[in-house]
Amino acid sequence: MKIGTDISIVECRCSGYPVIEFKKRELIKNGILQKDCYVYLTISNPEEWYDNGKVKFNGEFNHFMINCYVTWNDVLEQYNDDKKSIDSFAETEKNIDFQNPNEYDLLHLISDVSNYKGIY
Protein backbone atom coordinates (compact mmCIF):
# COMPACT_ATOMS: atom_id res chain seq x y z
CA MET A 1 0.00 0.00 0.00
CA LYS A 2 1.21 3.54 -0.77
CA ILE A 3 -0.04 6.65 0.98
CA GLY A 4 0.96 10.28 0.80
CA THR A 5 0.00 13.54 2.43
CA ASP A 6 -1.82 14.98 -0.60
CA ILE A 7 -4.75 14.00 -2.80
CA SER A 8 -2.71 11.63 -5.00
CA ILE A 9 0.71 10.02 -5.14
CA VAL A 10 1.50 12.01 -8.30
CA GLU A 11 0.66 15.26 -6.52
CA CYS A 12 2.89 14.22 -3.59
CA ARG A 13 5.76 13.49 -5.99
CA CYS A 14 5.31 16.77 -7.85
CA SER A 15 5.14 18.76 -4.60
CA GLY A 16 7.94 17.01 -2.73
CA TYR A 17 5.64 15.53 -0.08
CA PRO A 18 6.48 12.24 1.64
CA VAL A 19 5.08 8.95 0.41
CA ILE A 20 5.35 5.72 2.37
CA GLU A 21 4.95 2.22 1.02
CA PHE A 22 4.27 -0.78 3.23
CA LYS A 23 2.52 -4.09 3.58
CA LYS A 24 -0.65 -3.27 5.50
CA ARG A 25 -0.83 -6.67 7.23
CA GLU A 26 2.73 -6.32 8.50
CA LEU A 27 2.48 -2.69 9.63
CA ILE A 28 -0.96 -2.99 11.26
CA LYS A 29 -1.68 -6.19 13.19
CA ASN A 30 -4.93 -6.53 15.12
CA GLY A 31 -5.48 -2.80 14.69
CA ILE A 32 -2.11 -1.91 16.24
CA LEU A 33 0.73 -0.22 14.40
CA GLN A 34 3.89 -2.31 14.69
CA LYS A 35 6.39 0.30 15.81
CA ASP A 36 9.43 -1.69 14.63
CA CYS A 37 8.03 -2.49 11.15
CA TYR A 38 9.89 -0.79 8.30
CA VAL A 39 8.12 1.36 5.74
CA TYR A 40 9.71 2.56 2.51
CA LEU A 41 9.88 6.35 2.51
CA THR A 42 10.43 8.47 -0.58
CA ILE A 43 10.42 12.23 -1.04
CA SER A 44 11.04 13.57 -4.52
CA ASN A 45 12.59 16.79 -5.72
CA PRO A 46 9.66 18.89 -7.03
CA GLU A 47 11.90 20.69 -9.52
CA GLU A 48 12.33 17.44 -11.44
CA TRP A 49 8.57 17.15 -12.05
CA TYR A 50 7.83 20.59 -13.47
CA ASP A 51 8.84 22.29 -16.71
CA ASN A 52 7.76 25.92 -17.14
CA GLY A 53 4.92 25.39 -14.67
CA LYS A 54 3.65 22.19 -16.31
CA VAL A 55 3.98 18.74 -14.81
CA LYS A 56 6.40 16.62 -16.81
CA PHE A 57 5.43 13.28 -15.30
CA ASN A 58 6.22 10.26 -17.45
CA GLY A 59 4.75 7.57 -15.19
CA GLU A 60 7.98 6.68 -13.40
CA PHE A 61 9.62 8.12 -10.35
CA ASN A 62 13.34 7.58 -10.47
CA HIS A 63 14.82 10.53 -8.61
CA PHE A 64 14.28 10.98 -4.92
CA MET A 65 15.85 13.36 -2.42
CA ILE A 66 15.02 10.84 0.29
CA ASN A 67 14.83 7.13 -0.38
CA CYS A 68 15.07 4.97 2.75
CA TYR A 69 13.42 2.56 5.15
CA VAL A 70 12.23 3.86 8.53
CA THR A 71 10.15 2.64 11.44
CA TRP A 72 7.83 4.49 13.83
CA ASN A 73 10.53 4.10 16.49
CA ASP A 74 13.19 5.65 14.22
CA VAL A 75 11.09 8.70 13.45
CA LEU A 76 9.83 9.03 17.02
CA GLU A 77 13.43 9.14 18.26
CA GLN A 78 14.23 11.96 15.84
CA TYR A 79 11.04 13.76 16.87
CA ASN A 80 11.83 13.43 20.58
CA ASP A 81 15.31 14.90 20.01
CA ASP A 82 13.68 18.22 19.00
CA LYS A 83 10.12 17.74 20.30
CA LYS A 84 9.57 21.26 21.61
CA SER A 85 10.80 22.92 18.42
CA ILE A 86 8.93 20.56 16.10
CA ASP A 87 5.70 21.00 18.09
CA SER A 88 6.13 24.75 17.89
CA PHE A 89 6.77 24.50 14.15
CA ALA A 90 4.07 21.98 13.17
CA GLU A 91 1.83 21.40 16.23
CA THR A 92 2.70 17.72 15.95
CA GLU A 93 1.57 16.80 19.46
CA LYS A 94 -1.95 18.06 18.63
CA ASN A 95 -2.28 16.21 15.32
CA ILE A 96 -0.85 12.75 15.97
CA ASP A 97 -2.19 9.99 18.20
CA PHE A 98 0.99 8.87 19.97
CA GLN A 99 -0.85 6.36 22.17
CA ASN A 100 -2.52 4.41 19.36
CA PRO A 101 -0.90 5.52 16.08
CA ASN A 102 -1.99 4.37 12.64
CA GLU A 103 -0.28 4.55 9.26
CA TYR A 104 -1.41 8.15 8.74
CA ASP A 105 0.02 9.20 12.10
CA LEU A 106 3.33 7.68 11.00
CA LEU A 107 3.14 9.50 7.66
CA HIS A 108 2.39 12.84 9.33
CA LEU A 109 5.11 12.35 11.94
CA ILE A 110 7.55 11.69 9.09
CA SER A 111 6.30 14.81 7.31
CA ASP A 112 6.68 17.04 10.38
CA VAL A 113 10.15 15.76 11.27
CA SER A 114 11.29 15.90 7.65
CA ASN A 115 9.98 19.44 7.15
CA TYR A 116 11.64 20.64 10.36
CA LYS A 117 15.05 18.99 10.17
CA GLY A 118 15.09 16.20 7.60
CA ILE A 119 15.01 12.46 8.10
CA TYR A 120 18.31 10.77 8.85
pLDDT in tens, 46-101: 776 666 666 665 556 556 788 999 999 999 999 999 999 999 999 999 999 999 99
**DSSP character string of 24-78:** HHHHEETTEE-TT--EEEEEE-GGGGEETTEE---S----EEEEEEE-HHHHHHH
The β-bridge partners of 42 are 19, 67
For residue 34, pLDDT over 60 is answered with yes
What pLDDT does residue 29 have? 97
Give the residue extent of every domain in the chain: 2-117
